[in-house]
Amino acid sequence: MLPVILLFVSGAAALVYQTLWIKQLGLVVGVDVYAVTTTVSAFFAGLALGSAFFGRRADRTGRPLRMVAFLELGIAMLGLGGTLALAHSPQAFVSLKAMTGALAWALPFGLIGLPAFFMGGTLPTILRAIAPKDQTIGRASGFLYAANTFGAIAGTLAVPFFLVPELGISGTALAAAACNLLVALVALAASRFYISHPAQSATPTPLNMDAKLALGLYALAGGVALGYEVVWSQAIVPFLSSRAYAFAVMLATYLSGLVLGSFLYARFADRSRRPWTIFGLLVIGAGASALLIFAGIGPGLLHMQDAIGRAVFGLVASDMVANGARFAFTAAVILLVPTILLGAAFPAAARLAAGPAHIGRDIGVVAALNMAGGIAGTFLTGFLLVPLLGLMRTLGMLAVAAASNLQR
């Protein structure tokens, strides 16, 4: 239970930072799609590197929760520092861009990517702390991933609807840092109860071909998934009243689908006799459903959204609640089915690629390659495909890419 709580709180703090950074970077660069693209890319670049780096080190420590305390302390300092630095970076970014051109993007990329590097180590390190057996890897990884992502939903929604209106940007960043410090203190206090035997060999056994193929396909799935996120963040704006709410609702619904998919499939992941077939079908289904849903969007969705808003207002007589219901309905129609399938792909990939002897490394690599694919998908979608092809054609290309993830 404790690892679940730690991952929930850590995930909430992480997405508080990310949502703040997108809001701040929109003011720095002045173009919303570039702000979303840069923040998501930097965030997932840091997560990918951190997952791979700290996952390997988690296998070598006898007290993984002590390592979690170190990671959370680093997140608190770097996350708060990055937020405060971004608040004062618009002029520096403009000056750097005038002098160095595209190299100026290294400033926001670094401010976001460095704290995310430490964030990336939390999941594989906590998974190492509970040391699942081979026959429970899919279940354990799926449940912990769901807990971390569920916390992310709470953090995403708290920023625009509560934290920023009440505390402001700096106060919200301080609240997130306090969550990190709380996780660090609890992890440190509990570290003596979660003692793992370090991996027998300092040089882990190489991944077999099945595992490598699973990781490659999951990396492609990550590119498709993050490409969807960029497209959806722009597509859903016409149905909502503000971009801040648009991104928060989109991201919360996106994460909700990941939680549901991961949680539901984790219960069956270790019992499946055809894991490759299921993995392939999950990714193909995500791409096909996204394209079909997006192609079907039209005036009818607006009419249904308005009808739901009026019905909810009639029940509670609150504009805020009615608008929230309208937002949630639109986001759920567009996002929920594809993201449930994508969420189920995480424990499916973990079942194919991870083993108990080096669980930190294996889960770290699973997450890292998925995120690395996500970075490529985000950059290509935000900076190339959407400007050149538009939203609908871009989504079509992403669906084709998803369909290329054929099962063995």
The pLDDT-based confidence of 244 (bands split at 50, 70, 90) is: low
* Residues listed for the chain: 408
Q: Give percent of the chain with pLDDT exceeding 70.
A: 67
Measured in whole angstroms, how far is the alpha carbon of residue 40 from the centre of its chain?
Answer: 9
Q: Is the CB of residue 71 less than 8 Å from the CB of residue 54?
A: yes
Residue 201 lies in a domain: no
pLDDT in the model for residue 181 = 96
Residue 384 lies in a domain: yes
pTM: 0.73
Residue range 276-290, pLDDT digits in tens? 778 778 877 776 776
Question: Using CA atoms, how far apart are residues 406 and 308, in angstroms rounded to an integer?
Answer: 39
Residue 263 lies in a domain: yes
Across the range 235-256, mean pLDDT stands at 65
Burial 89-108 (b: 16+ CB within 10 A, else e): beeebeebeeeeeeebbebb
Residue range 94-106, pLDDT digits in tens? 777 778 776 777 8
Residue 200 lies in a domain: no
Q: Is the CB of residue 230 less than 8 Å from the CB of residue 312?
A: no
Q: Which of 16-25, 258-267, 320-329, 387-396 has the lowest mean pLDDT?
A: 387-396
Residue 408 lies in a domain: no
User: In the chain, how many domains are there?
Assistant: 1
pLDDT in the model for residue 114 = 92
Residue 199 lies in a domain: no
Residue 92's Cβ-side half-sphere holds a number of Cα atoms within 13 Å equal to: 11
Residue 368 is part of a domain; what is its CATH number?
1.20.1250.20
Residue 289 lies in a domain: yes
Residue 202 lies in a domain: no
Question: Using CA atoms, how far apart are residues 96 and 101, in angstroms rounded to an integer?
Answer: 7
The residue range of the domain holding 75 is 2-194+207-403
